[in-house]
Each structure stands twice: as structure tokens, then as C-alpha cells.
Amino acid sequence: MSKHTIVVCDHIHECGLDILKTTEDVNYIYAADIDKTELLDVIKNAEVAITRSSTDVDEKFLSAAVNLKAIIRAGVGYDNVDMEGCSKRGIIAMNVPTANTIAAVELTMTHILSCMRKLPYAHNQLKEQRIWKREDWYGQELFGKKLGVIGFGNIGHRVALRAKSFEMDVVAYDPYIASTKATDLDIEYTKNFEDILACDIITIHTPKNKETINIIGEEEIAKMKDGVILINCARGGLYNEAALYNNLKSGKIGMAGIDVFISEPATSNPLLDLDNITVTAHLGANTKESQRKIAQQAAENAIEAARGIAFPNALNLPIDESKIPSFVKPYIELTQKMAFLSAQIDKSVIRSLCISAEGEIGDYLDSLSTFACLGALSVACGDEINYVNANFLAEEKGITISNETYSNQGGYKNKVTVKLTTDNGIHTISGTIFNEDVQRIVAINGYEFDIEPKGNMILIRNSDVPGVIGEVGQILGDSNINISDFRLSRKKDSALAVILVDETVNTNLLEKLNNIEAANTVAYAEI
């Protein structure tokens, strides 16, 4: 079995290293402790590299990494990654943006509470100065205050929910979401930024781009309430730091809670001279739990990228993810996986690929098609195909790509179906997303399921007669193959079983399963 080389360039939590060490088709190289010049020699054979802030993915790095097809930035920020250089070389750059979600949410709430009660200063007076003066520390309650949340994604909406538990009034501003995402949570939604400026406390949770840099400046602060509290645990520069300093000093801004700065480390930042600000040194992801999640997701994403299955959270794709609603992103990955599964079920010549959608996701079919095309062709094309050339290769091979939209015909708000036509027949796989990011396959060739698209899958279509499950279990048991999940769907006189197993499956075992008298077709796929 050929192995994929994955190099870990910086320190990540041990749980991520354990995943790489125990994955059979991965040649794992730990290079976090070597000199960065020496790393240039190690990186030559890497297909995927996992980095953090200590490794600059610059021209030297990229020139040395001649076999590289993906970079995983184990964290959110990617300022040290030459994105243009990666794109020119066809290298997919990815980050791990959601692993620190809860940590960032809870740090935001910490800053809000610290600002309201001036906790760091009260702490310092008692502990460092040994002064007991309760009368110096009259704070404010969150109860009944209005919180303005700028950006209502993974972090923003969770901050809003926690604020609701303090019985605050919450108003959300995010032009890229459906208003129902807020209103369904009993949270006010506004398209008028002035509504945010009228709040008692304002917190921001947006990416850093042309639209959001300096989104709060002198003009906006002038419209705010006297004594307003501003919180930023997202990105440095979203609040204009000069305006923030001037208005904290004048008292227009009562308190600010800041975790991020334009230039870091921010040990000389003038904001630190003020006595009405709580500051932390970019600690949004600094919990033990989030570091475990970051390492785990980075390792899992690196393996998927090395295998060419999927590139979660890719940053240099042919679509601008900042311009599409957050609910679309999980469907992009799911669609690619379903197409990849279809092509493994039937490895004959592909004639056409049709992507259909029900619900709002139908507005983004063009984006989904690119990823479906990549998934379907990667079985045959391997490393030749990427996001840039997928549609070109499909056209070159005479494969027809089409899209269709339908009104909702079932119980799903959104559903995507991949229909793959080959020389051997037609295969359709449908999927949806639950709870924002939980991927599920809900139908395969007309058989209804509820399956996570992940792992080693054996698919057996058979006549619906007694004894088949027992025979399958006996064969797998005799081959020392452990079943992690077994899903069965029945239709008329036939059934389709999808069996998830812990080990890879060889052709000899598939032949044994195919020899079961009631078996009609047997297929194997790895996702």
C-alpha cells in the first residue's frame, strides 16, 4: 500500500500526532523541533504539511516543497502563509477555524463581565496593593442591557445565546445571513447598523476584510451612547485603534475588552496605558480543549487532503467563502464526498454528472458543481485533478456537467443530490446538513439512510431474504474485520446494507461477500 507523506512543521497537541501515527496509509514525519533551514530538505517529499505560526510558508518553503498539494494551518489565522504563491502552484491552503469556537465565545463573555464589573482592577487593588475598598468598585449588571453583535456566525450567535441567558436584549447585524437565523433564536435581527451603535455593549465577530477593517471608527463611536462598552476578541483592526484610544481616554467609551491588536505582540500598544480597558494577549484559542480540537481536526483534514477526498476550510478555492452564507460551506464538502463515493461505487467510465438541490442551497449550485466534479473525477484522475482544473478535465473527457433545482419535496429544508451516470448505470446519492455542520447521507440509489460520510464503507445490495446479515457478519468476523456501524434500508424485495468497518478491505474479502447467494452487488469505498 502506497503511503501519503504528511509533515508536521510546528508543535500541535499529542492527540493529533497520535491520529497520524496510527493511520495505515500515512507516512508521518515530525519536524517541529528541527531548524527551519533543515525543514526545507524534509519538506521535499511532503504531500501535506501542518503548520502553525512558527513556520513561514513563504517562497523558500514553497519552492522546496515540490510535491506539496495542501497546507493545513492549525489554527484560524494564516498571515504567515503566502496564499498567492500557494494558488500559483496549485497548493490548497486550509485552516481550522471552528475548533476554538467555544474558547473564543467564553473569552468574549469573560471580557464582557470583566468590563461590567471592572474585575481585573478590583482584583489588582486587593491582591497586589492589599487595599480593601469596596466603594471603589460599583459595576453594572448585564440584566436588561442591550448587546449588539456584529457578525452572527459560529462565534457571534453563541455569544448572543449566552447573553440571552443573562436576560440581556440582543440585536444581531450580519448582512450575509438569513434573518431567521437570529429570529429563530428569539434574537432581534437588523440590517441597519445604527441599531448596533445604539446598544449598551457592542461585540464584533467578523472576518478581517475590506468591509470590516475599521468598521468602528470615530464617526461610529460619536453615535454611540456615552459610556458604551466595546469588545473585540476577533481580529485586530476591526476597531480603529486610534479612535478606540481617544474615546477611551475621553470617557466616551466607558470600558473596552480587547484580545486582539493590529500589531502583535502588542506590548508597546498605547491602549495598555489606559485604566478603563481589559486586555489579553490573543488568548481566544488558548484552552486545553481547543488545542486538542485544533490538533485533531488538523490531522484529520491533512489525511483527507492527502487522500484527495476533501479539503475542508480551504482558503484559496475558486469561490470566495466570505461571500457565501455559512450554511453553504458544509454542503460544499458534503457534495464532494457524495460524488467521490458515487465514483467508488461504480468505477466505470463516467458519462455525466448532475447536481440537483432542494431549498435555499439551490442558489449555490455553480459552486457545488465544481466540488462534485472534483470528487467524481478524483478516483480516476488522482493527483492530476484539483479545484482549478476539475471542470476543464471533465470537458476534456466528454463528461456532461449539469445542475437542477427543485422545490422542497421531502422533510428537509435543504438537500443536495449527486447523480452519476456511467457505462454501467446511474447512481444517485442525496445528503443534507443537520445542526449547521453535521453531514449526513440520506439516500443511496433510492434507499433511505442516515449515514455520516466518513470511514471505510462496504455497500451490499441483496435480495431481501433471511440470513444475509448473518453471512456478512460471519465473513467479516472470520477476516478479523470489526464492524463500527451497520445500516440497512429495504425497498420492495431488495435491501441495501452500508457497513462501516474499522479496517481497510481487500479484494479477496469483497469476492467472498460477492459470493453470498443473495448478494447482487458489492462495492467498497473509503471517504
Q: How many residues does the chain have?
A: 527
pLDDT in tens, 263-319: 989 999 999 999 999 999 999 988 999 999 999 999 999 999 998 887 877 877 666
Kind and range of the H or E element at 37?
Answer: helix 36-42
Q: Is 490 a catalytic residue?
A: no
C-alpha 104, offset from chain centre: 15
Q: Which residue has the higher pLDDT, 380 or 341?
A: 341
Cβ neighbour number for residue 60 with a 10 Å cutoff: 15
Superfamily for 319-420+435-440? D-3-phosphoglycerate dehydrogenase; domain 3 (3.30.1330.90)
286 secondary structure, DSSP code: -
For residue 179, the SS3 value is: coil
Of 479, 424, 426, the residue nearest 456 (C-alpha): 479
C-alpha 503/C-alpha 483 separation (Å) is 9
C-alpha 176/C-alpha 154 separation (Å) is 13
CA distances from 71 to 74, 81, 148, 288 (A): 9, 9, 36, 24
pLDDT value of position 507: 86
Q: Is 517 a catalytic residue?
A: no
C-alpha 193/C-alpha 392 separation (Å) is 43
Amino acid identity of residue 339, one-letter, is A
Mean pLDDT rounded to a whole number for the chain: 91
pLDDT value of position 318: 61
pLDDT in tens, 506-518: 889 999 999 999 9
Of 326, 322, 335, 453, the residue nearest 390 (C-alpha): 335
Query: Where are the CATH 3.40.50.720 domain residues in the chain?
Result: 1-98+287-316, 101-279
The region of weakest confidence among 345-349, 428-432, 448-452 is 345-349
For residue 388, the SS3 value is: coil
- Quote the strand ranges of 96-210, DSSP E: 146-150, 169-173, 188-190, 201-204
pLDDT in tens, 3-31: 999 999 999 999 999 999 999 999 999 99
pLDDT in tens, 27-82: 999 999 999 999 999 999 999 999 997 899 999 999 999 999 999 999 877 778 98
Task: Tell me the pLDDT band of 523, cut-offs 50, 70 and 90.
Answer: very high
Is residue 228 within 8 Å of residue 253, measured between CB atoms?
yes
| Sign of the dihedral defined by the CA atoms of residues 477, 480, 484, 488, in that order | negative
pLDDT value of position 396: 72
**Residue 439 pLDDT > 60, yes or no?**
yes
C-alpha 407/C-alpha 269 separation (Å) is 55
The C-alpha cell of 508 is what? 479477496
Q: Collect all residues with Cβ–Cβ distance below 8 Å to 121 and sequence separation of at least 6.
A: 137, 275
**149 strand-pairing partners:** 172, 203
| Sign of the dihedral defined by the CA atoms of residues 230, 232, 233, 234, in that order | positive
pLDDT value of position 335: 95
Crossing angle for the helix pair 328-345 and 365-381, to the nearest 10 degrees: 30
C-alpha 189/C-alpha 149 separation (Å) is 10
List the catalytic residue out of 167, 194, 219, 264: 264
Q: Please give the order of strands across the beta sheet that includes 201-204.
A: 188-190, 169-173, 146-150, 201-204, 228-232, 253-258, 277-279
C-alpha 505/C-alpha 482 separation (Å) is 11
Q: Would you say domain 455-526 falls under CATH 3.30.70.260?
A: yes
End-to-end CA, the chain: 17
| Interval 497-507 mean pLDDT | 92
List the catalytic residue out of 89, 117, 162, 282: 282
Determine the Cα angle at 181 with ends 176 and 185, to 5°. 145
Report how many helices (DSSP H) and strands (DSSP E) the chain contains, helices first: 17, 22
Q: Which residue has the higher pLDDT, 67 or 386?
A: 67
pLDDT value of position 90: 79
For residue 503, the SS3 value is: coil
**Residue 191 pLDDT > 60, yes or no?**
yes
C-alpha 497/C-alpha 462 separation (Å) is 8
CATH of domain 1-98+287-316: 3.40.50.720
The region of weakest confidence among 38-42, 101-105, 325-329, 355-359 is 325-329
Q: Is 511 a catalytic residue?
A: no
Superfamily for 101-279? NAD(P)-binding Rossmann-like Domain (3.40.50.720)
Query: What is the DSSP pairing of strand 400-406 with strand 350-358?
Result: parallel
Q: Collect all residues with Cβ–Cβ distance below 8 Å to 341 and sequence separation of at least 6.
A: 375, 429, 441, 453, 457, 525, 527
**Residue 151 pLDDT > 80, yes or no?**
yes
Task: Tell me the pLDDT band of 122, cut-offs 50, 70 and 90.
Answer: very high
276 secondary structure, DSSP code: S
C-alpha 170, offset from chain centre: 26
pLDDT above 70 as % of the chain:
96
Of 193, 166, 189, 167, the residue nearest 178 (C-alpha): 189
**Residue 87 pLDDT > 80, yes or no?**
no
The region of weakest confidence among 114-118, 203-207, 395-399, 503-507 is 395-399
Query: Where are the CATH 3.30.70.260 domain residues in the chain?
Result: 455-526
List the catalytic residue out of 52, 73, 205, 235: 235
**Residue 365 pLDDT > 60, yes or no?**
yes
pLDDT in tens, 205-225: 987 877 889 999 999 999 999
**Residue 259 pLDDT > 90, yes or no?**
yes
| Interval 225-238 mean pLDDT | 96
Task: Tell me the pLDDT band of 388, cut-offs 50, 70 and 90.
Answer: low
